[in-house]
A and B are shown apart, each in its own frame.
Chain A
Amino acid sequence: MTVTLTVNGADHALEVDPSTPLLYVLRDDLELNGAKYGCGLGQCGACTVHIDGKPAFSCLTPVGAVAGRRIRTVEGLGSAEAPGLLQQAFEKEQAAQCGYCIAGMIMRAQALLDRVPDPDEAQIRAHMQTNLCRCGTHMRILRAVRRAVAMRKGVQAAQEVRP
């Protein structure tokens, strides 16, 4: 069956079993690396993308259900050469260890930034709760999100106390 997907602004007509989770179509057919297989159960958030502006677990979303809807992946936010706001903030804070969870983290955080102009610490933590990191990079991820908020407001991010 042909499914037409709109990913990062471009349309793709794909011959695919409509029950295939969106994750595998993004990775294997469109060759987008950002969304990762982590659990296939919607428990870790490594596969997070946006569907019509809302964060979604691409590992649980059948591709047939998202035909014609706007899909955004971390590749849609920027590139290594021209990184988007959150990507710049994560780079600045060196907010990755193994980094396997990070594309999902960025997409999750982007959904908050899209909705809330100036989230406080509790809002950020509550919003990020769905996404797992095993390396323990949480503090840097939180700093990166705060930095992105500050960058957007055009002020210098609060400098962390550094030894």
Chain B
Amino acid sequence: MSPVLSPLSRRSFLTGGALVVSFALVPKAFAQLAGGGEGGTGPAVVAPDLKGSLKSTPWLDAWIRIEADGRVTVFTGKVELGQGIRTALTQVAAEELDIPPAAITLVTADTERTPDEGLTAGSHSMQDSGTAIQNAAANVRMLLAAEAARVWNLPADQVTTGGDARLRAPDGRTLPYGEVAARLSLHVQAVPDAPLRKPSDYRTLGQELPRVDIPAKLTGGAAYLHDMRLPGMLHARVVRGPSVGTGLQSPDIDAVARMPGVVKIVRQGRFLAVVAERQWTAIQAMRHLQRAAYERTASPLPADGTGDAVVATLKAMPARDIPIMDTSEPAGPAVHSVRARYTRPWISHGSIGPSCAIAQYMEGRMTVWTHSQGTFDVHRVVAELLGLPPEKVHAIHAEGAGCYGQNGADDAAADAAVIARAVPGRPIRLQWMREQEFGWEPLGPGMMTELEAALGADNRIVSWRHAVWSNPHNNRPVGAGGVLAGNEADPPFPVPEGKPIPMPEGDGSRNSNPLYSFANTHVVYHFLKDMPARVSALRSLGAHLNVFSIESMLDELAAGAGIDPLAIRLDHMRDERARDVMQAAADRFGWSKRPRGDGRSGCGMAFARYKNLGAYCAVALEVEVDRETGRTLVRRAVAAVDCGQPANPDGLRNQIEGGLVQSLSWTGREAVRFAADRRASFDWSSYPILRFDDVPGSIEVVVMDRPGVPFLGTAEAAQGPSAAALANAIADATGVRLRDMPLSPDRLKAALGPV
């Protein structure tokens, strides 16, 4: 099983005539799975038999290089977003190479150094990159062992490793990896069946390694793109109206051009930016220009408000109906049925650090440092926007503040590139202001669902109908029309028409197909391509409202029929891992002995398997409601998660805790406000999120131990279940069922009526 040595370089392989045919033969499902699963332009699948991103980049030296002196570099096309992927991928590589994690240098997305793995999104990084690195490392370890065996004239299976980057012979002789690697070329394709290390032998995978990026973040080290200072760097601010779809009428450019310290005013089409030696000068110049009157330049915004306002906006738009699921089975007559509508307003990503980018144009080459989730997409966008040949653009990821989807990062990268092109030679640091992030980033779309379900006499669900209305959640820029600077160019690059993401991943439809076994299930996605507000991916996409709807409905049915919420779920779930996760959360929570709703406190639970493909997650909450104010406090939360082999259990707990708190904030408090001509949420007072007083009393996360089981993406798994568990706990506590987000104090107080 020696790997096939190929005389072709990677580039000639990707462009060579005869081999291109194989792309067309790749089944469509593979194409969907490549590239982060959330749009973007993922790389083509060239090796469908391999696992994870090896399908699109099968060459071992694209992932792992070992120098003669023993230095090991691992390359990933995914990026650190604060989710801890840098640490988790290092652990995966260390385990399968069988070397200490500290010996590894990990390089994240860089268009000239790493594989293109599409977006870092959709909880795909462990599945795509973790799996690729795991298998690439196993291949490399196999090749090293075979080469050492050749040196020692031994059968390959006699050579072992001991975790110290040395190959071992049975007689005690050893050879360092570097020395053996120097005898080999790793420019070979992976084979699909290189043996993986046994879970019982794991040294690094599954350990709670401290995150490698945290020390710098605690001590003021250079941790973010925002902290980069390049020689001769200038500061820029982009000048726009108050929010997307507005323009300034006649900004006072002459006055600003005369301000001391202003280096340049960049005006191209409707794009306007100021460049200054000092950051404060750039901000003052921007503020002066923003004094101009603004006008609305786009179609009307959504109606302000939640609940009925969301419905009015969505139902007024033409829909394309996409069938998601249609089953029919013989079932008994309906005894008890519930019909309900659930809504979610538009939600902001609310990154704590407004988007930033640095760009430098020198000798015809553009370099852009970006915290976008799609480094390779930034490369494509900038090349098209500036009309540069692709090889003259270099995009490099550097970490930003948490983004939770498509915030302003891609737009800021394009803004910086346009400005840098106009000021050749000098690095340009562009940062958006707080109100620009709120006003111009794509929002998480407003959504609604209508569900109707019925229980039979035996307490089994005999019919289930779920309809969801949503804009596309995937408007990730893959060309210049996807970014604001492209829309503002002269002539403008038009905003591309929104498209749905097909199932199994889905976008507005994500998780609308219940994992439960219900008889006569009918699910339809009313896809709304016209977008009254600029929208794109927000963590978990449609799963937030779809899971909220399904799991609320289950509790509504259970309450009507006097069934325990855990029992109705287990009764309709065949997937053993799903059952285990629900039971684990229930056991840790003490579900069977929980305090029952008494008007002021109560408990709720919910479950989902993210996309029905990713991690399994169950959440149980105990809440306390202040009937005078409508304020809901989560006393305690328990979550259980099964994501296959945990790479780093503490990292997983961190993600689930964070997802749970963030979902409580979205679900309990948040809604973007709209004025007639602009967004009316522009700061943290007009868009409040959860603060320390409102976070749970405690959160416990149970991580299921699944040794050696394939990785499942986890980062978004808690969003849906946490939302539904909150609604279910409030209903248990008060008897009031809230179906319109946010489940805010005002809404609950109104529903509870006079005290």
Contacts and interface: CB of A to CB of B under 8 A. Distances in A.
Nearest to B639: A163
A116 interface: no
Interface in B195-231: 210-211, 213-224, 226-227, 229
A97 B654 contact: yes
A32 interface: yes
A38 B352 contact: yes
Interface in B227-247: 227, 229, 235
Contact of A90 (B218, B404, B702): B218
A100 B402 contact: yes
Residue among B280, B650, B683 with max Cβ neighbours from chain A (10 Å): B280
Nearest to A76: B220
B223 to A, nearest CB: 7
B220 to A, nearest CB: 3
Given A31-B229, A41-B684, A99-B214, A163 B662 contact: no
Given A94-B654, A96-B211, A97-B658, A132 B684 contact: yes
A125 interface: yes
Nearest to B637: A139
A43 to B, nearest CB: 4
Interface string A28-70: 1001111011111101101000000000000000000000000
B459 interface: no
B696 to A, nearest CB: 7
Contact of A101 (B219, B352, B683): B352
Given A43-B685, A74-B218, A36 B211 contact: no
Given A78-B219, A132-B684, A139-B695, A37 B657 contact: no
Given A39-B684, A103-B217, A163 B588 contact: yes
Contact of B217 (A17, A99, A132): A99
B691 interface: yes
Q: Chain B interface: which size bin?
A: 35 or more
Interface in A71-122: 73-75, 77-80, 83, 87, 90-91, 94, 96-103, 106
Interface in A113-163: 124-126, 128-129, 131-140, 142, 161, 163
B360 interface: no
Interface string B628-666: 000000000000000000000011001101111110010
Interface residues of A, number: 59
Contacts of B685: 43
A6 interface: no
A34 B220 contact: yes
A20 interface: yes
A163 B700 contact: yes
B693 A103 contact: no
Given A37-B354, A128-B692, A137-B654, A100 B401 contact: yes
Contacts of B227: 33
A20 B281 CA distance: 9
Contact of B696 (A100, A137, A139): A139
Nearest to B650: A94
A14 to B, nearest CB: 11
A21 B223 contact: no
B494 interface: no
Contacts of A83: 215, 218-219
A120 to B, nearest CB: 13
Contacts of B723: none
A103 B218 contact: yes
A37 B434 CA distance: 9
Nearest to B281: A17
Given A33-B223, A74-B218, A100 B353 contact: yes
Interface in B243-298: 278-280
Contacts of A40: 433-434
B703 interface: yes
A158 B224 CA distance: 33
A94 B665 contact: no
A138 B661 contact: yes
Contact of A20 (B218, B280, B691, B702): B280
B498 interface: no
Q: Which residue, A38, A83, A135, has most C-beta atoms of chain B within 10 A?
A: A135
Given A20-B280, A99-B217, A137 B352 contact: no
Most-contacted residue by chain A among B220, B353, B431, B701 (CB, 10 A): B220
Nearest to B211: A94
A24 B278 contact: yes
Contact of A43 (B83, B220, B229, B684): B684
B45 to A, nearest CB: 31
B353 A129 contact: no
A115 B214 CA distance: 27
Contact of A136 (B81, B222, B354, B657): B657
Contacts of B531: none
Contacts of A36: 226, 352-353
Nearest to A100: B401
Nearest to B350: A134
B612 interface: no
A141 to B, nearest CB: 8
Nearest to B638: A163
A39 to B, nearest CB: 4
B695 to A, nearest CB: 4
Contact of B353 (A38, A43, A80, A140): A38
Contacts of A97: 82-84, 402, 654-655, 658
B684 A73 contact: no
A133 B654 CA distance: 13
Contact of A98 (B221, B354, B402, B684): B402
Given A41-B434, A94-B214, 7 more contacts: A36-B352, A37-B353, A39-B683, A94-B651, A98-B400, A134-B352, A136-B661
11 contacts: A37-B353, A73-B220, A80-B215, A94-B211, A100-B402, A102-B217, A102-B218, A125-B692, A134-B404, A134-B662, A134-B689
User: Would you list the 7 A-B pairs with minimal beta carbon distance, nearest first?
Assistant: A98-B82, A136-B661, A34-B220, A99-B217, A98-B402, A136-B658, A100-B401
Interface of B: 81-84, 210-211, 213-224, 226-227, 229, 235, 278-280, 350-354, 399-402, 404, 431, 433-434, 588, 650-651, 654-655, 657-662, 665, 683-685, 689-693, 695-696, 698-703
